[in-house]
Amino acid sequence: MRDNINIALRAICYLLIQVLLLNHIQLFGWCGIYFYVLFILSLRNDIKPSALLLIAAAYGATLDVFSGVYGIHTAATVFVAYLRPMVMKLFVTQEQMEKGDPSLKEYGAAYYYYALTLIVVHHLTLYLLESLTFVNFGFTMLKALSSIGITALIMVLIEKIKKSWRKQ
């Protein structure tokens, strides 16, 4: 129960930061920041895949409503939630998985591979759905890549901070 409240609170924090702050920031005038996906990446391992999908759908839909675009964030987030267990298996060993929940501290470098793969999947889905066309494909990719870079940077920062806090 306490864990569930914890997850809900974290979701609200991520959503508030994304909606109230980051949705208004466009680096260089065209590069959006979509760090909210990190919430899905950091969820506990013992959540069932089907529950993960439902959480992701609700989370994405909330963001859609507040961002003024319908369905795009939901589609991308649900896709990430679906791929998460597979990507996890790909990079993280069974031992590590049993040791603890996704974080740099528990998984080491494997966490970076895992997180980066899912961030890339998420952002590509998001940008392709948003443009819904292959016209200006190069520019869409440039936007997606720079967003991926920034989200990855935020991910590394959060993990480093979490790691140093736990040490103390």
Catalog residues that contact another protein under the rule CB under 8 A: 19-21, 24, 26, 29-32, 49-50, 53-54, 56-57, 60, 65-66, 68-72, 74-75, 78-79, 81-82, 129-132, 135-136, 139
Angle formed by the axes of helices 109-131 and 137-167, to 10°? Answer: 150
Considering beta carbons, is residue 60 or 102 the nearer one to another protein? 60
Please report how close the Cβ of residue 20 comes to another protein at its closest, in angstroms. Answer: 5
For the chain, the three-class secondary structure string (H helix, E strand, C coil) is: CHHHHHHHHHHHHHHHHHHHHHHHCCECCCECCCHHHHHHHCCCCCCCHHHHHHHHHHHHHHHHHHHCCCCHHHHHHHHHHHHHHHHHHHHCCHHHHHHCCCCHHHHCHHHHHHHHHHHHHHHHHHHHHHHCCCCCHHHHHHHHHHHHHHHHHHHHHHHHHHHHHHHC
Closest CB 140 distance from another protein, rounded Å: 9
Nearest to 106 by CA among 42, 149, 155: 42
| Cβ closest to another protein, residue 23 vs residue 103 | 23
Q: Considering beta carbons, is residue 42 or 147 the nearer one to another protein? A: 147
Q: What is the closest distance, in whole angstroms, from the C-beta atom of residue 157 to another protein in the complex?
A: 23
2 or 24: CB nearest another protein: 24
Nearer to another protein, 24 or 166 (CB): 24
What's the min distance (Å) between Cβ of 163 and another protein?
A: 31
Q: Min. distance of Cβ 71 from another protein in angstroms?
A: 3
